[in-house]
């Protein structure tokens, strides 16, 4: 029986290096343009950052014939049955982070976005966020449904245009204005590497890029604001890294289990039986 992965074209080391050089070069140039135009609120760099998201796809199409074949094959396969797991994988770290902040006392309810009623029994209003079922007063049941539907839609939109190359923007404090150098060179790469295990598992199982793109979009959608506000920078970073690490451990274990199951059995030599 042939494994579907074994039938896919395989890139050479030189082709992989060419892809990395193109995507880093193109991503850096576009992010420098974004920084020059302004990436803070109200700046004009958003368009350039949006273009940066397409750098990996453009690099895959330009790097080699093999990379084009792999890219087109993954893009043409929708991977429908893996889209829901993609959403759950993307949602998991922000949800775990919120739980850790609540349990550890390292955060408080995000009243800036989700204003509670005076008696604490319902949501009075949702601020600064676009939600499908309205931003006015609502019970917690409707609020949970509202968040889920809104985050899912936002994940689809974000996931469709996602790609990751953040270094220049991160160095300018785009994701962490308090410790941009530490974030860009250590903390952000650690978080991304941890999440990559789940994304890689999704891509290998589905044969498509879309479930992983949706997972990333889901993560971005909830990470921007999800119920709890960290009390300080250390609580924010610690709970974020821990939540992503917990998710990555699950997928490392699943990948190892799958690898063991797929190992071919070695033929057993016949044993001579003496009389």
pLDDT at position 166, please?
67
Helix (H, G, I), strand (E, B) or coil at 249: helix
In tens, the pLDDT along 102-150 reads 999 999 999 989 999 999 899 999 998 888 899 999 999 999 888 888 8
What's the confidence (pLDDT) of residue 263? 52
Q: Which pLDDT belongs to residue 172?
A: 77
Averaged pLDDT score across all residues of the chain? 80
Q: Which residue has the higher pLDDT, 257 or 121?
A: 121
Q: Is the pLDDT confidence value at 227 over 60?
A: yes
Q: What is the pLDDT of residue 238?
A: 92
| CA 132 to chain CA mean position, Å | 23
List pLDDT tens digits, range 19-29.
888 988 998 99
Pure H helices in the chain: 13-37, 46-52, 55-63, 65-76, 83-104, 140-160, 167-171, 180-182, 188-206, 210-223, 233-262
What pLDDT was estimated at residue 125? 94
State the average pLDDT over residues 93-100: 91
pLDDT tens for each residue of 146-166? 888 887 777 555 444 343 456
User: What is the C-alpha to C-alpha distance for residues 231 and 244, in angstroms, rounded to an integer?
Assistant: 19
- Residues 6+ away with beta carbon under 8 Å from 227: 98, 109, 110, 114
pLDDT band at 173 (very low <50, low <70, confident <90, very high): confident
Residue-wise pLDDT tens digits, 48-90: 887 887 888 888 888 888 888 888 888 788 888 888 888 888 8
Q: Is the pLDDT of residue 272 over 60?
A: no
The C-alpha atoms of residue 231 and residue 176 are separated, in whole angstroms, by 15
**pTM flag (> 0.85):** no
Task: List, in order, residues 6 or more apart from 63 with CB less than 8 Å away.
Answer: 15, 18, 19, 22
């Amino acid at each position: 029986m042939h494994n579907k992965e074994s039938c896919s074209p395989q890139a050479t080391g030189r082709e992989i290096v060419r892809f990395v050089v193109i995507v880093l070069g193109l991503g850096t140039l576009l992010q420098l343009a974004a920084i020059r135009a302004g990436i803070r609120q109200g700046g004009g760099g958003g368009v350039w950052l949006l273009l940066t998201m397409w750098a990996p796809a453009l690099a895959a199409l330009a790097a080699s014939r093999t990379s084009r074949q792999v890219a087109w094959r993954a893009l043409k396969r929708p991977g429908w049955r893996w889209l829901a797991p993609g959403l759950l994988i993307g949602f998991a770290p922000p949800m775990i982070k919120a739980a850790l902040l609540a349990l550890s006392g390292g955060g408080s309810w995000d009243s800036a976005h989700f204003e509670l009623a005076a008696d604490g029994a319902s949501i009075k209003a949702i601020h600064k966020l676009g939600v499908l079922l309205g931003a006015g007063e609502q019970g917690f049941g409707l609020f949970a449904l509202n968040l889920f539907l809104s985050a899912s839609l936002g994940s689809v939109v974000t996931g469709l245009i996602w790609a990751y190359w953040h270094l220049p923007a991160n160095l300018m404090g785009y994701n962490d204005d308090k410790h941009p150098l530490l974030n860009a060179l250590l903390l952000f790469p650690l978080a991304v590497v941890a999440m990559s295990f789940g994304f890689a598992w999704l891509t290998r199982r589905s044969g498509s890029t879309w479930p992983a793109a949706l997972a990333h979009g889901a993560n971005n959608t909830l990470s921007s604001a999800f119920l709890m506000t960290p009390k300080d920078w250390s609580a924010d970073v610690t709970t974020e890294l821990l939540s992503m690490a917990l998710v990555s451990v699950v997928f490392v274990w699943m990948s190892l289990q799958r690898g063991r199951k797929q190992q071919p059995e070695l033929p057993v030599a016949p044993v001579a039986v003496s009389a």
